[in-house]
Amino acid sequence: MLERNEQAKQRWGGAHKSIDTWLHARQDLLIEYFKLAGLPPYERESQALPALADVRNFCGML
């Protein structure tokens, strides 16, 4: 997913300020999802659920 986001940034980045803003927001959302899900490179040491504050932050971004 992050690789496709990078490809989109290379193709469309700089074309229009609103596109740049959208691409940046999408990248931030993907990074937060990876952290929340414990996906590489954001693996957690334990298999515990993410913190409530992290879940709320992610939901707020959606």
Report pLDDT digits (tens) over 3-38.
Answer: 777 777 777 767 678 888 888 999 999 999 999 999
Give all strands (DSSP E) within 1-62, no chain letters.
none
For residue 1, the model assigns a pLDDT of: 61
11, two tokens: 């193709």
For residues 13 and 19, give the distance between their C-alpha atoms in angstroms, rounded to a whole number.
Answer: 7
Structure tokens at 36: 């929340």
Residue ranges covered by each domain of the chain: 2-61
Q: Copy the structure tokens of residue 19.
A: 């596109």
| Side chain identity at residue 44, one-letter code | R
